[in-house]
Amino acid sequence: MRLIARYAKDRGNDFEIVTIYEHEVHKEAVPKADPAIKTLAKEHPSAIWFERKMSDDFGIIIKDAFDKRPLVHQERFPHTVYPMLKDFKEDVLEFAEYIPYKYEAIRGDGIFQVSVGPIHAGIIEPGHFHFSQAGEGILHQEVRHFYKYRGIEKMLEGKTLFDAKLIIERISGNESIAYQIAWRDILFSACGNELPLSLRKRHAFLLELERIIHHVTDLGFIPNDAGFGAALAYASKLSEEARRKMKELTGHRFGFGAIDLENIFYDTASLHEWLAELEENIIFFEDWIIDIPSLWDRFDTTGILKTEKAVKYDTVGVVARASGIMLDRRAEPFYLEHGFEMVTEINGDVGARYKVRMNEVKNSIKIMQHLLVDNTAEVELNKVKDGEYMSFVESSIGELFMAIDIKDGRINRFFVRDPSFMNWQALHLMMPNNIIADFPLINKSCDLSYAGNDL
């Protein structure tokens, strides 16, 4: 049974622990006087980040956990402060005494440690990668993020759904459309309205456009990290054209504000023409890259994630599908009727992840061609009703999960689990039997969000 998320709610005298599985939701009441729960990490290793976060956010004790280190609390964060408690109202925190973070490391003769980050060259966001090395060979890697604890979950408490949208759509820039659609689905559920088909088609079109932008960007960067810069130049041209198309359609290059209830007419003829040209360019690009043996010598057998490990760590998105897991939230009637086809590979290496992206771009073009229909519908929403609401969206990175509790018409609890929160935890499994120079190649083949973790 696949684990999707685990999080806590402050219910006054008790905490409510919510555990989301593939087909089940488990809820457990825990008294604040003895806030202790059992770990799930023995069955689901990915549960450990959820549990460490609950400890940092609420002070909940995780029994029998193999890792009780802080997750979102950095070295000088006051570790007795739990900012997700309802009675926490502080605007400023005093630095606490520095407590060193103990990285997982392999020790022994001839073994040394390499730290990468949290400050990176270029525009990469803060993230720390700690390697145990025997010469060039990677023995172990630990991923540590959460350097930008933005307080988004706390910030959204007390806001209306509409006031919250400006923040939600900016949580992770490379998934803005996906985050907005997750918000939209919760809005329509809370209002008891049915989403008009024409609106769903337009929003799905933008989601596939977002997927193309990021997949094509990766299709250029991955060969670039293997020393073939020409691929990046060509793919960057295509992704920039798609980014400009996003701005043309939505008013913003990242699609901020794109998912709305307005009637917007697209020039379907010009979009069909652009999609046909993009498809032709992608086919050319694929033929070109496939025919470069030196690239595939680097891609194949590098950064392998075996199927059983991908399942055990509850991976999602391209990372899961490249390891043979049939998991995509688009595998439902609406998308199937509009050309969706599940894309998988079985080798679980950089090459497999590259092929999945390439084929998904081609499938997204097909889906977008099916979605271009000239029809609109007026939407008049009912009043938002109090309740607990959840939504799922297949972002360019993978399955996005969002949960919002509404009380007195306002957000009482906001929780989101970015797909990267799951896949970052599986990254270390891809490192053994590779050299440290392959780390950028492996990392880029997964295309994970830093910001999506740092709520």
**Is 300 part of a structural domain of the chain?**
yes
The sign of the dihedral angle between the CA atoms of 395, 365, 367, 351 is: negative
Judge whether 130 and 105 are in contact, CB under 8 Å. yes
Same domain, 95 and 43: yes
Phi, psi at 7, each rounded to 5° = -155, 170
**Is 451 part of a structural domain of the chain?**
no
- Model pLDDT, residue 375: 63
Task: Please state the domain count of the chain.
Answer: 3
**Is 319 part of a structural domain of the chain?**
yes
**CATH no. for residue 354?**
1.10.645.10
Same domain, 357 and 296: yes
| CB-count exposure of residue 14 (10 Å: 0-12, 13-18, 19+) | middle
- Model pLDDT, residue 261: 87
List per-residue pLDDT tens for the chain, 455 residues long.
899 999 999 999 999 999 999 999 999 999 999 999 999 999 999 999 999 999 999 999 999 999 999 999 999 999 889 999 999 988 888 999 999 999 999 999 999 999 998 988 777 889 999 999 999 999 999 999 999 889 999 999 999 999 999 999 999 999 999 999 999 999 999 999 999 999 999 999 999 999 999 999 999 999 999 999 999 999 999 999 999 999 999 999 999 999 988 877 788 999 999 999 999 999 999 999 999 999 999 999 999 999 999 999 999 999 999 999 999 999 999 999 999 999 999 999 999 999 999 999 999 999 999 999 766 667 889 999 999 999 999 999 999 999 999 999 999 999 999 999 999 999 999 999 999 999 999 999 999 999 998 99
**Is 455 part of a structural domain of the chain?**
no
Q: Tell me, what amino acid is at 32?
A: K
119 DSSP 8-state letter: S
Same domain, 138 and 9: no
384 DSSP 8-state letter: P
Taking the mean position of all CA atoms in its chain, how far away is CA 23? Answer: 20
* Among the listed residues 130, 197, 245, 227, the one whose alpha carbon sits nearest the alpha carbon of residue 379: 197
Phi, psi at 175, each rounded to 5° = -135, 30
Measure the CA–CA gap between 140 and 129, rounded to whole angstroms. Answer: 10
Same domain, 73 and 162: no
**Is 344 part of a structural domain of the chain?**
yes
Give this prediction's pTM: 0.96
Q: What percentage of the chain's residues is helix, strand, coil (to nearest 5)?
A: 40, 15, 45
Same domain, 297 and 418: yes
Judge whether 278 and 366 are in contact, CB under 8 Å. no
Same domain, 94 and 213: no
Q: Which residue in the block uniquely carries the two structure tokens 């049974």?
A: 1
Judge whether 147 and 101 are in contact, CB under 8 Å. no
- Model pLDDT, residue 146: 94
Task: Name the domain boundary from 39, 74, 102.
Answer: 102
| CB-count exposure of residue 348 (10 Å: 0-12, 13-18, 19+) | buried
Q: Tell me, what amino acid is at 455?
A: L
Same domain, 200 and 342: yes
Same domain, 278 and 243: yes
H/E run at residue 141: strand 137-144
| CB-count exposure of residue 333 (10 Å: 0-12, 13-18, 19+) | exposed
Same domain, 38 and 116: no
Q: Which long-range contacts (CB under 8 A, 24 or more apart) does 87-95 make?
A: 88/154
**Is 185 part of a structural domain of the chain?**
yes
- Model pLDDT, residue 373: 76
Same domain, 15 and 136: no
**Is 355 part of a structural domain of the chain?**
yes
Q: Which residue in the block uniquely carries the two structure tokens 């950095």?
A: 74
Q: Which residue in the block uniquely carries the two structure tokens 């084929």?
A: 359
Measure the CA–CA gap between 90 and 312, rounded to whole angstroms. Answer: 39
Judge whether 411 and 404 are in contact, CB under 8 Å. yes
Judge whether 340 and 363 are in contact, CB under 8 Å. yes
- Model pLDDT, residue 90: 86
Collapsed DSSP state (helix, strand, coil) of residue 249:
helix
H/E run at residue 9: strand 3-10
* Among the listed residues 276, 332, 323, 283, the one whose alpha carbon sits nearest the alpha carbon of residue 423: 323
Same domain, 402 and 264: yes
Beta strand 112-116 with 61-63 is: unpaired
Measure the CA–CA gap between 219 and 359, rounded to whole angstroms. Answer: 11
Measure the CA–CA gap between 330 and 350, rounded to whole angstroms. Answer: 23
> Counting every residue, how long is the chain?
455
* Among the listed residues 39, 47, 42, the one whose alpha carbon sits nearest the alpha carbon of residue 21: 47
- Model pLDDT, residue 262: 81
**Is 139 part of a structural domain of the chain?**
yes
Same domain, 124 and 98: no
Task: Name the domain boundary from 122, 147, 172.
Answer: 147
- Model pLDDT, residue 380: 86
Structural domain span for residue 341: 152-446
